[in-house]
Amino acid sequence: MTATVLKLTNRNDTWQPLCTRADLVPFSGVAAWLNTPEGPAQVALFYLPGHAQELYALDHFDPFSKAYVIARGIVGDIKGSPVVASPLYKQHFRLEDGQCLEEDEVQLRNWRVAFKGDEVWVEG
């Protein structure tokens, strides 16, 4: 059994502002830089105004094409779950957890994301 180093962090400290509501494209995606403990990441932000969950943040990196393109995909829903389709090879990724619908073992990184007023905050 290996020892686990417990590190106490303040939850709110990891949330960071990324952009504002005006930077988003309704029912579509935009890409943004996010600082994470592992280094900077490209995040794809999706905005579904009027829906129960309005904001989603997935990795902008498409593991199939190995290119940063996820934010430029078409947003939709398949069997009730909001998804984005990769603009290159058209695989679908579930917005809520990044799960690929075509390949079980592929899942995109995803972050918690919320509005604070008109600002978009992501837990990095």
Q: Which residues contact other proteins by CB under 8 A?
A: 25-28, 48, 65, 67-69, 72-83, 85, 87-88, 90, 92
Least distance to other proteins, CB of residue 7, Å: 36
C-beta of 8 vs 54, nearer to other proteins: 54
Q: 71-78: list long-range contacts, CB under 8 Å, 24+ apart.
A: 71/29, 71/30, 71/31, 71/44, 71/45, 71/46, 72/29, 72/31, 73/29, 74/28, 75/27, 75/28, 75/29, 75/46, 75/48
**What region does 85 belong to: left with phi over 0, alpha with psi -120 to 50, or beta?**
beta
* Alpha-carbon gap, residue 115 to 19, rounded angstroms: 10
Give whichever of 18 and 30 is closer to other proteins, judged by the CB atom.
30
For the bound state, the minimum distance from the C-beta of residue 119 to other proteins, rounded and expressed in Å, comes to 21
Which lies closer to other proteins via its Cβ, residue 59 or residue 72? 72
Q: How near is the Cβ of 9 to other proteins at its closest, in Å?
A: 34
- Exposure on the CB side of residue 8, measured as CA atoms within 13 A: 0
Q: How far is the CB of 35 from other proteins (least distance, A)?
A: 20
Nearer to other proteins, 14 or 28 (CB): 28
